[in-house]
């Protein structure tokens, strides 16, 4: 098996989001996952593909959608 399987918590840690956000992405079909028993696992390759699909062109970004990151700290 070449693709390492990641837990939702590991994916959340890498993306710096909550595990609920990871489960939401899985439920919406945005992040492919496999079910192992009662748990979901994400293939490392699927996480890489998901991230590659999220890349945005700064020239076309709507800056009004961005909040001040200092507010989140």
Please list, residue by residue across 32-66, b when 16 or more beta carbons sit within 10 angstroms of its beta carbon and e when fewer do.
Answer: ebeeeeeebbbbeebbeebeeeeeeeeeeeeeeee
- Domain assignment present for residue 69? The answer is no
DSSP state of 13: H
Q: What is the pTM (predicted TM-score) of this model? A: 0.76
The CATH number given to whatever domain includes residue 18 is 1.10.1660.10
Lowest model confidence (mean pLDDT) among 5-14, 34-43, 64-73: 64-73
Tell me how far apart the alpha carbons of residues 33 and 36 are, in angstroms, rounded to a whole number.
Answer: 10
Q: Classify burial at 27, counting beta carbons within 10 Å of its beta carbon; exposed 0-12, middle 13-18, buried 19 or more.
A: exposed
- Domain assignment present for residue 13? The answer is yes
Regarding predicted confidence, which is higher, 67 or 7? 7
Number of folded domains that form the chain: 1
Kindly report, residue by residue over 50-72, the tens digit of the pLDDT: 999 999 888 887 777 666 655 54
């Amino acid at each position: 098996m070449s693709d390492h399987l990641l837990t939702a918590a590991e994916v959340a840690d890498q993306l710096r989001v909550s595990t609920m956000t990871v489960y939401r992405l899985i439920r919406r079909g945005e992040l492919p996952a496999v079910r192992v028993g009662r748990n979901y696992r994400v293939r490392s390759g699927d996480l890489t593909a998901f991230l590659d699909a999220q890349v945005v062109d700064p020239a076309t970004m709507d800056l009004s959608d961005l909040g001040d990151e200092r507010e989140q700290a």
